Amino acid sequence: MDQINIYSADEIISRIIVEDGIEALDACLEPYAAVYVVMDSNVAMQCPAAYELSQMLNRRGVPGMLLEVSEEAKSMETVIDICGWLLDNGADRDALVLAVGGGITTDMVGFAASLYKRGVRFAYVPTTLLAQVDAAIGGKTGVNFGGYKNMLGTIRQPEFTYICPQVLESLPMEAFQAGASEMLKTFIIEDNDNYRPAVQLLAELASEFIAAAEGNTYSYSMEKWPEILSERLSELTPFIAAAAKVKAGVVSRDQFEGGERRKLNLGHTFAHAIEALAHKQHNDIDHGHAVALGMVYAARLAEKLGMAEEGFATMIEKDLDSCLLLVMSPYGVREMADAMGKDKKAEGGKVHFVLPRAVGDVVIHDMTVEEAVELLS
């Protein structure tokens, strides 16, 4: 078992446990007298490890709630439903609410737990790569509001986050790409040593996926994807742990996003604008692809400002493209301007743009959206 800690001063406030199998979760639950599980219904039906988890929880007599998960359902209405279910099932202040699912699930359940009875304990079993390397780490919870992502929420740390790469075996290709983008983002921020090897592994997985499609239908290659991924999971695990360690370190130094933690938003100012535009046009773009596009824009802006060497943005673009991530935007920067101005990171008319000077070296640069658009146009 590999344990990574999140600290406040010298006190451990949250634990990240990386374990090959799901069975060690039982020991993690042992200290809690009352556990209530909220699980993504898709995980319950499609993830082989979910059956083992369900058997474990059934032996403990743990009550469970299934969530229908989507960006549309990521709302206060769903949070209220979760709180109502906890109340109906007698959850008290000593309860532990266990969220099993991807980032949408952990965001909503963490938010509900932080509100229910003014805050009860909660923990996560993230079942997507994106949640394992990003969404389930650091204590941010929230729901969408007014057409914008995560506008309502709290920052409150889970008791623990149990990362089991085994649960990724049934993860669809599109969901895997979302996590791959966030993992590479983490390495661009603060881990030059792991960035290039991670790109190589992800590019090899992408090549194997493309090879499976040759002479076959696209649906055939999608069916082959779980087999391709499961054969390389052991190689992926160290990168998952490394990304989790980077984020845990940043959060330990700046839990409430007063400064350094803003670096974790690399690519997200552009990404959230792209997602908002796509949503309004009923043409949703996956979060991972939006973040990849956002990182390309951020690298281009860094070049324009003279912060990064010429050709850096092209290198990032080629690396992301080799992993089958989207690098050509359907929208121009002027179209994105309004949404960027409404970004959560906007203050005093300026946005905290996170810009990469090199792999492993990013800075926060405050400027107006108009200034950024002018440079990128």
The residues annotated as belonging to the active site are 118, 140, 182, 247, 257, 261, 265, 268, 272, 287
Closest by Cα among 337, 287, 254, 336 to 149: 287
* Cβ pair 322, 201 in contact under 8 A: no
d(CA 60, CA 33): 10
In the structure encoding, which two tokens stand for residue 33, read together? Answer: 């007298």
Please list, in sequence order, all residues whose beta carbon lies within 8 angstroms of the beta carbon of residue 345, skipping any fewer than 6 positions away: 262, 265, 268, 269, 351, 352
- Enumerate the β-bridge partners of residue 5: 15
With the CA atoms of 85, 90, 93 and 98 taken in that order, what torsion angle do they form, in degrees rounded to the nearest 10? -50
The SS3 of residue 129 is helix
Structure-token pair, residue 147: 């057409």
The pair of structure tokens assigned to 291 is: 């973040």
Query: Which residue has tokens 């008290």?
Result: 92
Residue 58 neighbours by CB distance under 10 Å: 10
Residues 6+ apart with CB under 8 A from 41: 66, 67, 68, 69
Phi-psi region of 306 (alpha: psi -120 to 50; beta: other; left: phi over 0): left
* DSSP label at residue 140: B
